[in-house]
Structures are given as structure tokens and as C-alpha cells.
Amino acid sequence: MHVVSQLLEMSGIGRDRMQLRWVSAAEGQIFADFVKELSALMGEMGAFDPDEYKLKLAAVEGALNSPRLRWLLGMDRQLTERENVYHQKVDDKLYRQLLDEATQEEYQKSLILEVLRDGPQSVREIAEKSGLEIYAVSQLLSDIERAGLVDLHGYEGTTPKFIRLAA
């Protein structure tokens, strides 16, 4: 939930659009109060237009499906509560910081990959369409290229154009 919430916030959708509450079947009034509270909150936030967030929703989905995030989430308890092969535990605060940084990076990489679905793009074009800084796009493209997901397509004048490779 923490990662999904963080991704929804990064994407501009807003973390409050997703809620999780544990309510027992015997707590009908608590459930009804929560539904009223959530309905009021959604009313304040306004209608959600999925077409407006198409690119960002695809990037959220891509980040959630990234092997890196899936591994980190799957290893949470193993890393923070049990010992690793070196008989060490990872501090919970350090793990959360690592997870938050990985979440942001995977979202940004996924956003770049989604922009590249439209065909060859320059770093500047990717930055404009994704809302990311040019320097960040350049660094992340390098990582994505090393992973074999994008490649240099060619040049338009002296400007390199990158293309997404089939996954």
C-alpha cells in the first residue's frame, strides 16, 4: 500500500484516491462512516478522468510490475525482520528510504518507456512529455539502455533519438 500510495502521489493522481481500512463484519457503523468519509473526500477531489492520466497510469502500472520493486517488496520482512546470509538485519528506516528511492526511479523509468511508445524521441522531447528534468531523463535513459529496453534510433541533425525496444 505504501508503494502504490507513493506512486499515485508522484503521478499527480493523489494518494487519497486509494484507501484501505480493515473493518470486521461486526463493525457495520464503522464501515458506513468510512464510506461516507470516503465519498465526501472523493467529492472534494472531483471526478477522475482516466484519459487525462493515461500516460501516468501506465507508468504507475509499469513501475509496480518492475522486477526491482517486486523483489524489494517481496523481501521486506526477510530484510528487516530476519537475518540475511551475513547474519545482518536491514534497519527498517533504511529499507523504507531505499524502497522510496527505488519507487521514484522505477516510476520515472516507466514514464520514459511509456513516452517512447509513440516512437523515436529526443531527450528534450521525452522530458517535455513526461514532465521530468532533462538531466534526469538523460541519466535514466542510460540505465534503461543498459537494461536493453531502449536503444539509439538515429540522429535528427545532431540530436540523438531513442526508441523503445520490444519487451
User: How does pLDDT run across 103-126, given as a tens digit for each residue?
Assistant: 999 999 999 999 999 999 999 999
Question: Would you tell me how many other CB atoms lie within 10 Å of the CB of residue 118?
Answer: 11
Q: What is the DSSP string of 50-98?
A: TTTTHHHHHHHHHHHT-HHHHHHHHTHHHHHTS--TTS----HHHHHHH
Amino acid at 161: K
pLDDT value for 25: 84
pLDDT value for 99: 95
User: How does pLDDT run across 126-147, given as a tens digit for each residue?
Assistant: 999 999 999 999 999 999 999 9
Distance CA(136)–CA(60), nearest Å, equals 18
Q: Give yes or no for residue 5 having a pLDDT over 90.
A: yes
Cα 85 vs. chain centroid, distance in angstroms?
Answer: 30
Cα Rg, the chain, nearest whole Å:
20
Of the candidates 155, 159, 163, 99, the residue with the CA atom closest to the CA atom of residue 134: 159
Of the candidates 84, 66, 87, 64, the residue with the CA atom closest to the CA atom of residue 75: 84
What is the chain's mean pLDDT, rounded? 93
Q: What is the dihedral of CA 49, 51, 52, 55, to 10 degrees?
A: 130
Average pLDDT for 3-12: 94
The pLDDT confidence band at residue 167, using thresholds 50, 70 and 90, is low
User: How does pLDDT run across 33-53, given as a tens digit for each residue?
Assistant: 999 999 999 889 888 899 999
